[in-house]
Amino acid sequence: MKNRLTILLATIALSIVAFAQTPFERAGAVYNAQRYADAVALYDSIEVAQGVSPELYYNRGNAYYKMGKYAHAILNYERALLLAPGNPDIKYNLELANTRIADKIEVTGTFFINVWAEQVRDWFNSNTWATIAVVAFLLFIIGLVVYIFTDAMHMRIKKIGFFFALPMLIISAVALSSAIAQNNRCNAHNEAIVFAPEVAVKSSPADSGTELFILHEGTKVTLREQVGEWVEVTISDGNRGWLPIKTIEVI
């Protein structure tokens, strides 16, 4: 009787602890128990109930990675990066997942200014950049007011106002352009992951088109033009062709 009471109390205690956990904590506990498919199912239910977040995509990507479903993992890591572009953990896991796929495509040379601009853009998400732009512009106004309304007798303060306002204006402009670029990138939905184990890229949007090259599951492509059930794509080495739209999943 005593043993039964102990088991009952332990069961009740565990139930209370499980009930007290947040959905993310329950999913994390399931993940730590190496029940990865159950963790994915829990993260799916969290998405339905609470919407998406970088944490959701990142954790679900980790579960898929542990299951060996690397295309699903890459898709989730890419979506997480759209919402949290500066997160080093997401970037690292994405790079790790990309080592597991068949296609190792060389990236074509990009003008260094474009590379630098993209690196700056990806420091923060669009909301953070917008906040920086507003704050910097307000500080620019303050510096400008100091410069304009300080008389010539206080030339040092006047110079401080000018040399404070100028960089604030530059920071505000950079932040605003980065916010716009980041927002456009998030809303473009012009990138996708190949989900077919193997798919032939055609020269035209038809099965009769010439086969140009083969792509495998997990490869990232840039979307260009859609014709019926076909979409023209470009890969990172600059090659392009047509794929059946059913073989990809948009990021």
At 8-28, the pLDDT tens digits run 545 554 454 445 578 999 999
CA 239 – CA 233 distance, rounded (Å) = 8
CATH 2.30.30.40 applies to domain 191-250:
yes
**What pLDDT, on the 0 to 100 scale, is given for residue 61?**
98
**Who wins on pLDDT, 246 or 6?**
246
Class of domain 2-98 as given by CATH: mainly alpha
Nearest to 165 by CA among 193, 183, 149, 142: 142
pLDDT digits (tens, 9 = 90+) for 191-219: 999 999 999 999 999 999 999 999 999 99
What is the structure's pLDDT at 17?
43
Asked if the model's pLDDT at residue 224 lies above 70, the reply is yes
Indicate the burial class of 9 (C-beta count within 10 angstroms; 0-12, 13-18, 19 or more). exposed
Residue 130, phi then psi, degrees to nearest 5: -65, -40
Percent share of the chain, pLDDT over 70: 90
Q: Inform me whether the pLDDT recorded for 46 exceeds 90.
A: yes
pLDDT of residue 133: 97
How many Å separate Cα 92 from the centre of its chain?
12
pLDDT tens string 95-123: 999 999 999 888 776 667 777 888 888 89
How far apart, in Å, are the Cα atoms of 15 and each of 18, 26, 34, 42, 110? 5, 12, 20, 17, 56
**Residue 80's closest CA among 69, 70, 91, 65?**
91
Rounded mean pLDDT, 224-244: 96
pTM to 2 decimal places: 0.80
Q: Average pLDDT, whole number, for the chain?
A: 90
pLDDT value of residue 174: 95
Q: Which residue has the tokens 């890969």?
A: 235
At 31, is the pLDDT very low, low, confident or very high (cuts 50, 70, 90)?
A: very high
Task: Give the pLDDT mean for 138-166.
Answer: 92
Cα torsion angle, 52, 227, 244, 216, sign: negative
